[in-house]
Amino acid sequence: MTTRRAAAPPWFLIGPGVIAVAFLVFPLIALLLQAPWGSFASIISTPSAMDALRLSVITSLLATAIAAAIGIPLAWLLAREILPGTRLVRAFVIVPLLLPPVVSGVALLAAFGRRGSVGGFLYGTFGIQLPFTTAGVILAETFVAMPFLIITLEGAFRSFDRRFEDAAVTLGASSWTVFRRITIPLVGPSIIAGAVLCWARALGEFGATITFAGNFPGVTQTMPLAVYTALESDRDIAIALSILLLTVSIAVLVAMRGNYMRGGTRA
């Protein structure tokens, strides 16, 4: 009987891997080292910081809810390849991930601005203005974040065992009952994972928001925009607000630990 020896780790990969880890971790450590810990609590508890945090949380949650309401059905349709031109639709879903955020903001202005294709009609007919409003923030966050949810769920819808759905249909269940009682519970972990990713992306959105919704305190100034504004006048405030966002990111990582930190994926 022979004993198989474990292969030695390839030394030529260790060096670049360590450099990659250092490159990703060092800026975060530097941020923590330069933080104004003595005044941290007072900085993040100022009315402007609290307004930005409140606005960020509310708009990102609403953007995630909208993305889930329309993104989950689209992910299912893409997975089943029911829509005509499914490949083209999938490409359009991916495009917001590839666009520079500022370009996303310009595209939103072209569509929903006061002189835009849809926005002009809304403003001229109903007096509804989306740019430079809180609703505009939600719209921008939804646009850039929803693809994360759709891509995550499309893979989940493709991979789960459809025999459960077929069995339910055979027993007389309606399509709505099958989707609600069978499909959604089976992909539940992926829905949570996709929603968390979507929310995190919406929470950190900057470029599309400032381009489409502006940077007005209490109305459209989210936390990333508050960091940008503070960086121009007081670096300590910018660092403190950045650490607050970093804390949220770490909380998201902890929430996702079952799907990523253990190295596996779940449908």
**Four-point Cα dihedral 7, 12, 17, 19, nearest 10:** 150
Q: What DSSP letter does each residue of 118-163 carry, written as one string? A: THHHHHHHH----TTSHHHHHHHHHHHHHHHHHHHHHHHHHHS-TH
Asked whether residue 123 carries a pLDDT value surpassing 80, the answer given is yes
User: Model confidence over 133-186: pLDDT tens digits?
Assistant: 999 999 999 999 999 999 999 999 988 777 777 787 787 778 888 888 888 888
Q: How far is Cα 66 from Cα 142, in angstroms, rounded to an integer?
A: 7
Query: Which residue range is the domain that position 204 belongs to?
Result: 42-106+132-255
**What DSSP assignment string belongs to 164-175?**
HHHHHHHTT--H
What does the pLDDT look like over 68-85, one tens digit per residue?
999 999 999 999 888 888
Number of domains in the chain: 1
Residue 267 lies inside a defined structural domain of this protein: no
Structural domain includes residue 86: yes
CA distance 88 to 94: 10
Give the alpha-carbon dihedral of 83, 86, 92, 93, to 10 degrees.
80
pTM value? 0.86
* Cα separations in angstroms, 220 against 106, 152, 214, 240: 16, 29, 6, 20
pLDDT in the model for residue 261: 46
Greater model confidence, 226 or 6: 226
Structural domain contains residue 115: no
Region 244-258: mean pLDDT is 75
Contact assessment for residue 145 and residue 198, using Cβ atoms and an 8 Å cutoff:
yes
Asked whether residue 1 is domain-assigned, the answer is: no
The answer to whether residue 88 sits within a structural domain is yes
**Is 263 a member of any domain?**
no
d(CA 194, CA 196): 5
CATH code of the domain in which 146 resides: 1.10.3720.10
146 domain residue, yes or no: yes
DSSP assignment string, 237-253: HHHHHHHHHHHHHHHHH
Instruction: Give domain status of residue 9, yes or no.
Output: no
- Alpha helices (H) along the chain: 11-33, 40-44, 47-80, 86-98, 101-112, 119-126, 134-159, 163-170, 175-178, 184-186, 188-203, 207-212, 223-231, 235-255
Model confidence at 265: pLDDT above 60: no
Name residues whose C-beta falls within 8 Å of residue 82's C-beta, 6 or more positions apart in sequence.
Answer: none
224-238: pLDDT as tens digits: 999 999 998 889 999
Q: How far apart are CA 116 and CA 122, in angstroms?
A: 9
